Amino acid sequence: MKKFVTTVCALAVLSFMLLGTVGQASAHTLSSIKPHPVQACSFVLRSGYARCMSIVMVGSQFQPNTGPAGYHPADLQSAYKLPSSSAGSGQTVAIVDAFDDPNAEANLGVYRSTFGLSPCTTANGCFKKVDENGGTHYPSPNVNWAEEISLDLDMVSAVCPKCHILLVEATTNSFNNLGTSVNRAATMGANAISNSYGGSEFSSEGSLQTSFYTHPGVAITASSGDNGYGTQVPAAFNTLTAVGGTSLKHAANTRGWKETVWSGAGSGCSAFITKPSWQKDPNCSRRTIADTSAVADPNTGVSVYDTYQQSGWLVFGGTSVSSPVIASVFALAGNASSINTSHLYSHTTGFYDVKSGSNGSCGGSYLCTGVTGYDGPTGLGTPKSTSAF
């Protein structure tokens, strides 16, 4: 994928590399220029840090409905046959991201009111925002991660409008801070935790899995990546559900929709994490990414409302979309306390099989190509209601 890097972004990289992240990069604006995708967190990383997996469509003209551009809650609920209007009460979906979005709750309110969803606020007990220690000493704001936060909160609302939402903001985008935030979310009673970020694998990554991403009874999801065939953490961990991505379009079939592999979805064989007993695919001796998937292609992206140094309505893609979607499907099912990723593999009829498309070059094998049954970019497929969850 081509990267569109401005002089401002280049200077930001030079200024903030020592911190492991870019600070305030220039905001994206919609215009009449040819639509093109831009990674929200397209900055240089050092080892031990993660970047968010959201992609904004600059100049997007994608308008499948009246109202804001991009797919709406009704589209996602239709595509995956979700019981969003009747399920999810009593469930809490946690969103873990880095830095602060000062406008998170206000933006969430606009998104929900626009699409006729009930209010989710601090006042009515539906929404809660905390720092990684569970308090209100929020980290410094960051325009890139604020985009990610808005996207994540909106996707939980779209899929599970009856769910409570817990936003945990890590002090920085280091895996230690993000992992501490995952632990905080679990401690605070989240039923599902979405992690829309990732970084390169490294030899000691197993310690992160043990310390932060192992919470039996909590459904944890992680984005598989946005750069095509290749692996990253935390998606490689075998204690969570790795979520790949698809292109989602309307179709004249019984379902009313069709999906193919999104070319940007991550997949492949982990270099270090042990293969779990429930994965039986033949070409990886270790953990295989992904387990399941949902829409992620920015060209078939979703509506998001964000006003922190932004214009309001934007269209987003990336596996940052699919991770909170799948976390919210777990919450809709309400079985997280007794269901884990292995359960998905024994309920394959609960998925729409994605049989075409590719995310890179792997000799044409299932690891980077959509095939009948399991494949790397989309895992077992996309949700067919909540029957597999």
Bridge-partner residues for 294, per DSSP?
245
- Tell me the mean pLDDT in the region 307-322: 95
Condensed to tens digits (0 to 9), the pLDDT of residues 143-190 reads 999 999 999 999 999 999 999 999 999 999 999 999 999 999 999 999
82, 164, 320, 335 from 87: Cα distances, Å? 9, 12, 23, 12
Q: Are 258 and 85 in contact (CB under 8 A)?
A: no
Report pLDDT digits (tens) over 5-28. 333 333 333 333 333 443 333 333
Q: Dihedral angle at the C-alpha atoms of 107, 110, 115, 119, nearest 10 degrees?
A: 90
Q: Cα dist. 61→111, 218, 270, 294, 301 in Å?
A: 19, 38, 37, 22, 11
**Hey, where are the domains in the chain?**
28-39+47-383
220 vs 311, more confident: 220
pLDDT digits (tens, 9 = 90+) for 269-291: 999 999 999 999 999 999 999 99
Query: Residue 1: is its pLDDT beyond 80?
Result: no
- Judged by DSSP in three states, 231 sits in coil
* C-alpha distance from residue 268 to each of 3, 183, 271, 289, 367 (Å): 23, 27, 9, 5, 6
* Reported pTM: 0.91
Taken in order 269, 270, 273, 278, the sign of the CA dihedral is: negative
Q: pLDDT for 85-111, tens place per residue? A: 999 999 999 999 999 999 999 999 999
Closest to 264 (Cα-Cα) out of 169, 358, 362: 358
Q: Are 22 and 172 in contact (CB under 8 A)?
A: no
- Answer with the residue of higher pLDDT: 331 or 43: 331
Contact 383, 294 (CB under 8 A): yes
Confidence at 33, pLDDT banded by 50, 70, 90:
low
Q: How far is it, in rounded angstroms, from Cα 119 to Cα 288?
A: 39
Of the chain, the percentage scoring pLDDT greater than 90 comes to: 84
**Could you give the CA distance from residue 104 to residue 172 in angstroms, rounded to a whole number?**
17
Range with the poorest average pLDDT among 34-38, 152-156, 187-191, 336-340: 34-38
Buried residues in 10-41 as b, exposed as e (16+ CB within 10 A): eebbeebeeebbbbbbebbebeeeebebbbbb
Q: What is the average pLDDT across 351-364?
A: 96
Q: Which of these ranges, 27-31, 40-44, 147-151, 244-248, has the smallest mean pLDDT?
A: 27-31
Residue 278 · residue 345 · CB < 8 Å: yes
Nearest to 287 by CA among 244, 239, 354, 324: 239
Residue 179 burial (10 A CB sphere; 0-12, 13-18, 19+): buried
Topology of domain 28-39+47-383, per CATH? Rossmann fold (3.40.50)
Write out the two tokens for 61.
């003209």
